[in-house]
Amino acid sequence: MSKGTESADFVIIGSGSAGSAMAYRLSEAGASVIVIEYGGSDAGPLIQMPAALSYPMNMPRYDWGFVSEPEPHLNGRRLVCPRGKVIGGSSSINGMVYVRGHALDYDHWEETGASGWAFADVLPYFRRMESWHSGGHGGDPEWRGSDGPLHVTRGPRSNPLFAAFVEAGKQAGYPVTGDYNGRQQEGFGPMEQTVWNGRRWSAANAYLRPALKRGNCTLVRGLATRVMFEDRRAVGVEIDLGGTRRVIRANREVVIAASTINSPKLLMLSGIGPQMQLREHGIEVLADRPGVGANLHDHLEIYIQMAASQPITLFKHWNLFGKGRIGLQWLLTRSGLGASNQFESAAFIRSRAGVQYPDIQYHFLPIAVRYDGQAAAEGHGFQVHVGPMRSKSRGSVTLRSNDPADSPVIRFNYMSHPDDWEDFRSCIRLTREIFAQPAFAPYIRHEIQPGSALQSDEDLDAFLIDNVESAYHPCGTCRMGRADDPDAVVDPEGRVIGVQGLRVADSSIFPRITNGNLNAPSIMVGEKMSDHLLERAPLPRANDEPWINPDWEISQR
């Protein structure tokens, strides 16, 4: 590498959802940018073909391979926590589901100290980042963006099960929504995906590649080991490249965008975190911030699976010949079943009266299969992934040692709050009621999982202990809040409290998890934070009024 690229105005650690968006916006504004990424190329069909999504998140080549410590409330199970170790970060290995989150999620952020992050503040950034395509399926065009780097599309929804799911929701008395990313999240309707022209439209494809075509943005391969400081100001990043250490200098600021798992780890390795823990590992304390690594939370989900009475599910392709044919069609034409993530219908509902906005999410899938690609033994079937949106359980990310090559200690503490059990039982019972509607009568043979024999609270709890899975939405470990909040890690402009010249911008800064999948909010954080880095006035606030169910206080639907 030439000497001229050893320093830049901004050094960003991580090429994921937020990091790529910042690289694009900062370089677009004329600033020089170096992006540090440990992972390799995202080329090849396993990442770029949407239907192949279960492969990259299970491959050490693309995934950091994080695993939780034994979870005390789940019989000591260790749950996997895939994070992208590749260009584009987790946006290159995720399920490509696009959900902005609910308006009230962001209003809550502001109420808890993240001023300037209310829904009215963030909606303009969601619009700026999107190129939205309804595919003729309705929606709320005035709520959406039309010329951003991130293409958002809808699947063809040609399998009759996608329509049956929405119709069953309607028959059960729930609202229907034409656009859960528009005015009304609550209800049943089409699901959106970050897929464009049949390809995964990751942050790498949307933001990083165009940025790297500019002369002022460079990608450097290496493992970031710590942030370098002079006095209390961040001046660069030390990286390890196969045993040799070198420093990439930042003329203006260093930005950590390394994920909810790696961002707090890097802060702690750099001397920013709970002082007792840092001292325990022989790390000199630069800033005592007890909130670093705390507030870890996630979405858990359960798969409710039904055996199908007709051979209309994707199971007919679930063999070497079928997969080969889908792959070949995709390679030649970027079309067919390979061009969708197959999550094409969705729902957001409220679990009970008195809940102001949805707290349960559904992904519907026309095959009974697990994320690791294991199909149900029953053959033809379909499933929903369902789970509560706002668990009160909190965990932590802590250092295993002071060696940057060691993975951190991840304790989610899943299901540690009693409300989580009640919420999950509601999820199962409400789902069974939806599947019992007339719309599904032509398609259902019987319930595979949990199985209709399991009805009591005790039976359902035992099933949950063995079967809940992470939805892979970890967040919150570098929480954003007021600068005088002792548990906050960054202020509302992403500045790490207690030092200068260092920011964090990724899902780790979320004060509380948003409704749905976290890729869209993470990109939005990168978009908004780039304006703070450039010291620009934020985009003007939006006045759009989101829909809240007028009967939420007295009715569940």
Report the catalytic residues.
473
CA distance 514 to 512: 6
pLDDT at 2: 34
Q: CB neighbours (10 Å) of residue 228?
A: 17
Segment 467-506, tens digit of pLDDT? 999 999 999 999 999 999 999 999 999 999 999 999 999 9
Q: How far is CA 237 from CA 15, 18, 250, 283, in A?
A: 15, 18, 8, 17
Render pLDDT for 374-428 as a digit per residue (tens, 0 to 9): 777 788 999 999 999 999 999 999 999 999 999 999 999 999 999 999 999 999 9
Pairing of strands 33-37, 217-221: parallel
Nearest to 292 by CA among 392, 399, 406, 390: 399
Among 315, 344, 310, 303, smallest CA distance to 166 is for 344
Do residues 501 and 253 lie in contact, with contact meaning Cβ atoms separated by under 8 Å?
yes
Per the CB < 8 A criterion, the answer to whether 263 and 508 are in contact is yes
Residue (of 152, 44, 172, 20) closest to 98 by Cα position:
152
Residues of the chain predicted below pLDDT 50: 1-5
Q: What is the pLDDT of residue 1?
A: 34
What's the rounded Cα separation, in Å, for the pair 354 and 352?
A: 6
Handedness of CA 112, 105, 81, 84 (dihedral sign): negative
Q: Per the annotation, does 195 bind a ligand?
A: no
Q: What is the pLDDT of residues 444-470, one digit of tens each?
A: 999 999 999 999 999 999 999 999 999
Residue 393 carries which side chain, given as an amino acid letter? S
Rounded to 5°, the CA angle 403-408-412 comes to 170
Return the pLDDT at 370: 77
Residues 6+ apart with CB under 8 A from 436: none
Residue 86 among known ligand-binding residues: yes
pTM recorded for the entire structure = 0.98
pLDDT in tens, 114-136: 999 999 999 999 999 999 998 77
Q: What is the pLDDT of residue 479?
A: 98
Is 94 one of the annotated binding-site residues? yes
Domain ranges, ordered by start, for the chain:
156-190+300-388+416-467
What span, in angstroms and rounded, lies between the C-alpha atoms of 277 and 409? 12
pLDDT at 135: 78
What is the CATH class of 156-190+300-388+416-467?
alpha beta
Q: What pLDDT sits at residue 4?
A: 38
The answer to whether 386 is a known ligand-binding residue is no
Sign of CA dihedral 184, 99, 426, 448: positive
